Amino acid sequence: MFKNFKLLDCTLRDGGYINNWEFDEDFASNLYNCINSSRCEYIEVGFFEPQSQTPKPYTSFKPENIRPFLGGVTKTALLVNYNRELNLEMFPMQADFGISMLRIAAHKQDRHEASEFSAQLSAKGYETTVNYMGISNYSDAEIVELADLMNLYKGKVSYFYIADSFGSLVPAKTRWIFETLRNISDAGLGFHPHNNLQLAFANTFEALKNGADIVDGSIYGMGRGGGNLNLEALLVFLEQAVPGKYDVLPVLDFAEIYMEQLQKRYSWGYSLPNVISGALACHPNYPKEMLKFKSFSAKEVFDFLSVIPKTEKGKFNKEYCIDSFFNYRKEKSDNLKPIVSASFKNLVFEKQKKALVVCGGNSVATQREQINDFISSNNPAIVSVNSTVLPFEINAVFFGNSRRFSRYYNEARDKYEVILNPFIEPSNNIDLNIEFLSRVPIKAFLPSLSFAKNYPQKIPTNSGVEAILALSYLGFKEIFVVGMDGYSINQDKYY
């Protein structure tokens, strides 16, 4: 079924994204011995960054770092991130370096220049590859055009890699890519899978079956995003499909000694952000950054990332992510019609425009007696934030968090006044047609207060702050707050 093919281990290089390349010499040398004993043809041991001054050997490889990776049949490789400032003079001759292969990683917009550079670099004695990153952001026509580059530079470039950088490919698409390119070109063809959708193995099977000459994997799947193809699983399969070619036992021993404890310490692989990254072919840091605040629902994140331009999806930009998301929320909420229930208007009047906002901090429990004394003396409207579980009676629940809304809304709707921020988007099975519902518009969160002139007008994502602004908009004049714990001065991470 499979023609002659080769395997490359990228545990050190791609796995380093997980632990910031903090691998010791013992790990590195034993990894090489393991891969060599398993008879895998290549091991990628880090980056070659001629413009970098970092002392970390795996991120800025120097000739003196090569010693642990010599003496076996397994050849060594380094990755070079292509940029247009690179020139051939930055690279030593292969005979002076000892590295066998240099792999040129190229973003889509650099694919032509990177292919040419990879071909030129081979004159220095290296095997070279060009890795076309983010293949899921190529159109079908652009994938077909890669065959022209393959035919132009074959003979100089050893392998042209299809890199599923975001783990977005499905087997049918992988099959089409490799069938298509193989039918047009006989150049060396490689595959670098990621496992965001848990399809790395299935995609690799299709790649090998349809003409791949070399595929990458890492032990325990250690790598960025959803991780890489699990090398040990592939070797188990190949021992049956191609008996005698590889030996999985050294890899299993290494995994048991080193990788299990690394996995417990750093935890990589399957996660909700990585699934979203794979589904939408975007950089994994986009969903990771947004979901870490625990304020936005997976649906909200998914919907936003579905509409950002392809040109922005491939490289993570934190400032772009945050600014674009707030603009996206604002645009969706600008035309929202505010709702104030008649019973809520009565509550404002009945409580003489006094409200107590109860957030989720531990002080609500530890200071319960003082809070009860305050309630007895002032008789405020008691508004809980994102929860119905409190040690005293409440009048209303404010929801500013989509996740908490999904959890507590059905319990709150029949007991209390419900107040929503303008961004809550209920799922299809949630009915907002209730008597005690109020909803504030986005302008409630952009107050024209005198002190606000000195601060940037950002829409808050802190539900406690939102609740205060919402109650002010709805008519309360005195607003007291308890349970807003855990904040420190000189911090900018509170939203």
23 has pLDDT over 80: yes
Residue 451: predicted pLDDT: 42
Model pLDDT for residues 360-385, shown as the tens digit of each residue: 899 999 999 999 999 999 999 999 99
Residues 6+ apart with CB under 8 A from 373: none
303 has pLDDT over 80: yes
Model pLDDT for residues 27-52, shown as the tens digit of each residue: 999 999 999 999 999 999 999 987 66
The helix (H) or strand (E) run that includes residue 463 is helix 463-473
Q: How confident is the model at residue 454 (pLDDT cuts 50, 70, 90)?
A: very low
Question: How many angstroms separate the CA atoms of 166 and 314, rounded?
Answer: 9
| Contacts of 448-452 spanning 24+ positions with Cβ under 8 A | none
Q: What is the pTM of this model?
A: 0.80
Give the length of the chain: 495
Model pLDDT for residues 81-104, shown as the tens digit of each residue: 999 999 999 999 999 888 999 999
Residue 211: predicted pLDDT: 95
453 has pLDDT over 60: no
Q: Which CATH class name applies to 6-266?
A: alpha beta
Question: How many angstroms separate the CA atoms of 19 and 38, rounded?
Answer: 25
Q: What is the mean pLDDT of the chain?
A: 89
Q: How confident is the model at residue 495 (pLDDT cuts 50, 70, 90)?
A: very low
Q: DSSP 3-state assignment of 88?
A: helix
Helix 171-184 vs helix 140-153: angle between axes, to the nearest 10 degrees?
40
Residue ranges of the domains in the chain?
6-266, 280-333, 342-482
Q: DSSP 3-state assignment of 274?
A: helix
57 has pLDDT over 70: no
Residue 220: predicted pLDDT: 97
